[in-house]
Structure 1
Amino acid sequence: MHTYLQPACKWQESTFIRSGSLKASTDRMLTRIKSMYLYIKKRGNVTTLELVEEFGTTHRTIQRDLNVLEYNNLVESPSRGTWVVTERKTKVS
């Protein structure tokens, strides 16, 4: 005869909490990326350092966010450390 163990409720609660915080951090990231895009669009030409100072986060975080925007063809870097928006039409909500 086999005995099947049920997962403990404690584990399920911690999993729920972790997935909830993951959603919160993802929401923050998406909000920051959207804000960065709008900031670059408004300013026309910005540096990575300017974005670090404006958004109060690390250089690495800004670089990751810019990579997301660049991958989606929303921004480009005409010269090292400088960013502009592309001609791609976007609808920001």
Structure 2
Amino acid sequence: MSHSTSRMLMRVKAVYLYIREKGTVSTQEIAEEFGTTDRTIQRDLSILTHNGLVKSPVRGKWKTTTKPVKVSS
């Protein structure tokens, strides 16, 4: 796995954990927390949405789903 892919997967995991911890958060809040652009976070959220881990009940606001997740280090 390339370094950039590994870094992206670690960020996606961190984004998921951040949303799970905070409850409902905006795309902008996530981007600010991770020091990246809204577009990068939107790509990460697309991965999480595709896997059924997050949803956006209100446009631009995100929360985790009830899908069981085993988080490893």
Aligned with 1:91: secondary structure? Answer: coil
Q: CA RMSD in A?
A: 0.9
Count of residues in correspondence between the two structures: 72
Question: Counterpart in 2 of 1:79?
Answer: 58
Percent sequence identity over aligned pairs: 57
Q: 1:49 aligns with which of 7, 20, 28?
A: 28
Question: Counterpart in 1 of 2:67?
Answer: 88
Note the C-alpha offset of 1:66: 0.1
Q: In structure 1, how many angstroms separate the alpha carbons of the residues matched to 2:38 and 2:61?
A: 13
Q: In structure 2, how many angstroms separate the alpha carbons of the residues matched to 1:78 and 1:71?
A: 15
Q: Which has the larger radius of gyration?
A: 1
Unaligned runs of 5+ in 1: 1-21
Note the C-alpha offset of 1:76: 0.1
Which structure 1 residue ranges, 4+ long, deviate > 4 Å from structure 2?
none
Q: In structure 2, how many angstroms separate the alpha carbons of the residues matched to 1:56 and 1:27?
A: 18
Note the C-alpha offset of 1:42: 0.3
Structure 2 residue 16 is the aligned partner of structure 1 residue 29: no
User: Greater RCO between the two (CA within 8 Å, min separation 6)?
Assistant: 2
Aligned with 2:40: secondary structure? Answer: helix
Note the C-alpha offset of 1:40: 0.2
Larger helix share, 1 or 2 = 1
